[in-house]
């Protein structure tokens, strides 16, 4: 059994890291568990504890999906929260609308549903979770900081593959191991 999820890996550039560091610094007095920059990713589907047999099924499905989707780019921009301004839960980096990521995510969700993994209750909303909020003492200041970065351009991300990742929970934070990489097809070279 492995705790797994499907994701698009994001290699943060200087600009994204600058915004991330500034956000962390501005909110240093709040209780927020910040995601390590090397662990930043866009989750396509969280599976949880999964047997090796089911992982093999998922990999077979993902091999087929990868051949149906060309590589694309994403424009990362915007900083926001999940939850309400009264009870924020997550700080995230967002992206410009992208039909490519929507198509890929929907294909992943539909295809794994056929091998026994039901869709999540929420609709897919592509984002990078950068902070999990424990407690916010000064909600007004917190909202001012979020608003300061609200429409900030972060970076362009080339998406050439997606991954199946194992997440091992540790007291100091999650450790991620890549189970398998699924390269998207390059229609130009076919």
pLDDT tens per residue, range 40-76: 999 999 999 999 999 999 999 999 999 999 999 999 9
Instruction: Record the tokens describing residue 57, joined without a space.
Output: 């099924």
Convert the pLDDT of each residue in 130-143 to its tens digit: 999 999 999 999 99
Distance CA 170, CA 174 (A): 5
* pTM for the structure as a whole: 0.91
Residues annotated as catalytic (active site), given as ranges: 41, 127
Contact 123, 148 (CB under 8 A): no
Asked whether the beta carbons of 89 and 81 are under 8 A apart, the reply is: yes
Structure confidence at residue 121 (pLDDT): 75
Sign of the alpha-carbon torsion through 92, 97, 98, 103: positive
* Residues contacting 160, CB < 8 A, separation 6+: 71, 183, 184
* Whether the Cβ atoms of residue 130 and residue 91 lie closer than 8 Å to each other: yes
Token duo for residue 66: 């990868």
Give the domain ranges of the chain: 2-184
Please identify, in words, the CATH class of the domain defined by 2-184: alpha beta
């Amino acid at each position: 059994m492995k705790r797994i999820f499907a994701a698009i890996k994001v290699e943060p550039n200087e600009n994204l890291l600058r915004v991330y560091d500034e956000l962390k610094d501005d909110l240093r007095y709040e209780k927020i568990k910040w995601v390590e920059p090397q662990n930043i990713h866009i989750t396509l589907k969280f599976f949880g504890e999964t047997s090796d047999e089911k992982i093999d099924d998922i990999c077979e499905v993902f091999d087929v999906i990868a051949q149906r989707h060309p590589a694309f780019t994403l424009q990362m921009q915007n900083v926001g929260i999940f939850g309400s301004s009264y009870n924020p839960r997550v700080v995230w980096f967002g992206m410009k609308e992208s039909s490519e990521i929507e198509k890929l995510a929907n294909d992943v969700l539909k295809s794994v549903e056929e091998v026994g993994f039901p869709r999540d209750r929420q609709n897919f909303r592509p984002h990078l979770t950068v902070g999990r909020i424990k407690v916010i003492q000064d909600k007004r200041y917190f909202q001012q900081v979020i608003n300061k970065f609200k429409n900030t351009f972060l970076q362009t991300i080339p998406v050439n593959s997606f991954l199946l990742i194992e997440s091992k929970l540790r007291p100091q934070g999650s450790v991620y191991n890549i189970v398998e990489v699924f390269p998207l097809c390059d229609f130009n070279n076919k």
